Amino acid sequence: MTPTFTPRPSQQNILRYNGGRLGIAAVPGAGKTHILSALAAKLIQEGRLGDDQEVLIVTLVNSAVDNFEARIKRFFDNPIQVLYKYRVRTLHGLAHDIVREKPTSVGLDERFSIIDEREAGFIRREAVNALAGESLVG
């Protein structure tokens, strides 16, 4: 932990986390990002994660993802120490990860692919053109 960080009593309870799911709800500015970043760093520094484990932080907005990542890295002298030990995602990003990494768990074939907006637009235009062509012929 960084020596300049002194957790408040309620934050100290969070730092005593001992496993399982953890959710924190508090008003803006209460220090959620800072304390969860400190907790992630603590779990990693103490070696409490197995080789196949990572800390997962889920948030609502992309700006919070960037904020968490920057704060977690500040607890380490060398950012390589923390590589692949945590993941910060928005709810949307987490859903995307699950679908991409474990497609069968959500009922998809292993061979599925996720397309980008440009490709989706092309497919929509082709479908509309195909339907329009059929109605002109019929």
**What is the mean predicted confidence (pLDDT) over 33-41?**
92
Give me the domains of the chain, ranges plus CATH numbers: 9-101 (3.40.50.300)
Confidence of residue 137 (pLDDT cuts 50, 70, 90): low
State the average pLDDT over residues 97-101: 89
Q: What is the pLDDT of residue 134?
A: 67
- The predicted model scores a pTM of 0.71
Report the pLDDT value the prediction gives residue 1, as an integer from 0 to 100: 47
As a whole number, the mean pLDDT across the chain is 87
Question: In this predicted structure, what is the pLDDT of residue 115?
Answer: 85
Residue 64 has pLDDT above 60, yes or no: yes
pLDDT tier for residue 3 given thresholds of 50, 70 and 90:
very low
51-67 in b/e form (b: 16+ CB < 10 A) is eeeebebebeeeebbeb
Task: Report, as an integer, the average pLDDT of 116-130.
Answer: 91
75: which residues sit within 8 A by CB, 6+ positions away?
1, 2, 37, 38, 41, 42, 45, 82
